[in-house]
Amino acid sequence: MPFNNILVAVHPDETETTALERATKIAQHCDAKLHLHMVMWKPNLARDLFHITDQGKADQEKLVSEGTDRLDQLKSQLDVPVANTKVHWGHPFDEQLLQAIETEKPDLVVMATTRDDRPSTSEWRLIRGCKTPLLLCHHHDWASPPRTLACVDPGHAHDKTDEIDQAIINLSERLEASLGQPYELLHAAGMTPVLDGDQPYTYQYRDKHDGDNEAAIRELLPADKAAQVPVHFSHSTPAEAITAFVETRKFDICVLGLVNRTRWQELLIGSTPRDLIPKMNCDLLLLPHPGASWVPASA
């Protein structure tokens, strides 16, 4: 089934409309409704209410009013239905947006991201806590229609389970239904060379490994597509393989599943999505891990 309700995190900067453009294109194909939300914050206007001046309160209200006017203006320019618009004043950004997601319960969240060395702390908390598929948008032009690459791990080499792989395929099916463009699959094994006598690497082992994984992947596909969906294999590390495939084959969206690791495990083992965010020249559609949850700071 296609997406029905899409929450868009609209950036306060008037020149940044990437997320809204992406969400509009999806909505045009599947008749989805948009929910426009903007988070605003100015530290100098956010002190305790007992200490903020009347002028400070007025300035804060003015900014919220300007944000509301901008959302109304954007809404009037769109040719897709908009369910509601709302400006949130508060900090941190992730908590404000997660609260909006909890209230609206959309099928998809769309947000622009920056090309920093690593995701910001607030951005990463949002990624970890979001219970809804999250499309992180980079600043590039989509093909028409956009091409999708979904990454699976049937061998469970990177802590994924069959349930996550199945959920990734289901999400890719949903994206295909929303955009009208078939997806492709990639399995990056990151295999260690196998010693076999004088041979430094056993290619027969590699081919058997790929064959077994392809059979496992096709069992997860819908019956009518089991033989149709292209399945690719790479023996590089996931981050290297995904980056190379996206660059050489010009994919616009990459679907990844998140693994429920603790922060210490992420520090020691790493995180493929976190490593890919600053490298990818495409959008990342992140599937929330089973333990995704958030607790507001005030709780």
- pLDDT on residue 281: 83
Confidence of residue 298 (pLDDT cuts 50, 70, 90): very low
How many domains does the chain divide into?
1
Task: Please state, for a pLDDT cut of 70, what percent of the chain lies above it.
Answer: 80
The mean per-residue pLDDT over the stretch 71-89 comes to 96
Residue 293 placed within a domain:
no
pLDDT digits (tens, 9 = 90+) for 213-234: 889 899 999 999 999 999 999 8
Residues 288 and 131: beta-carbon distance below 8 Å: yes
Residue 295 placed within a domain:
no
The mean per-residue pLDDT over the stretch 16-29 comes to 94
Q: Taking all residues of the chain, what is their mean pLDDT, rounded to a whole number? A: 83
Residue 53 placed within a domain:
yes
Q: Is the pLDDT of residue 93 over 70?
A: yes
Task: Please state, for a pLDDT cut of 90, what percent of the chain lies above it.
Answer: 50
Residue ranges with strand state E in the chain: 5-9, 33-40, 82-89, 108-112, 134-137, 148-151, 183-188, 231-234, 253-257, 283-287
Indicate the pairing of strand 134-137 with strand 5-9: unpaired
Q: The domain spanning residue 267 has which CATH number? A: 3.40.50.12370
Confidence of residue 155 (pLDDT cuts 50, 70, 90): low
Q: Domain range holding 118?
A: 5-287
Q: Enumerate the β-bridge partners of residue 33.
A: 5
Residue 296 placed within a domain:
no
DSSP assignments along 167-209, one per residue: HHHHHHHHHHHHH---EEEEEE--PPP--BTTBSS-HHHHHHH
Residue 61 placed within a domain:
yes
- pLDDT on residue 223: 92
Q: What is the pTM of this model?
A: 0.87
Residue 43 placed within a domain:
yes
DSSP state of 292: -
| Strands laid side by side in the 108-112 sheet | 82-89, 33-40, 5-9, 108-112, 134-137, 283-287, 253-257, 148-151, 183-188, 231-234
pLDDT digits (tens, 9 = 90+) for 163-183: 889 999 999 999 999 999 999
Residue 299 placed within a domain:
no
Residue 297 placed within a domain:
no
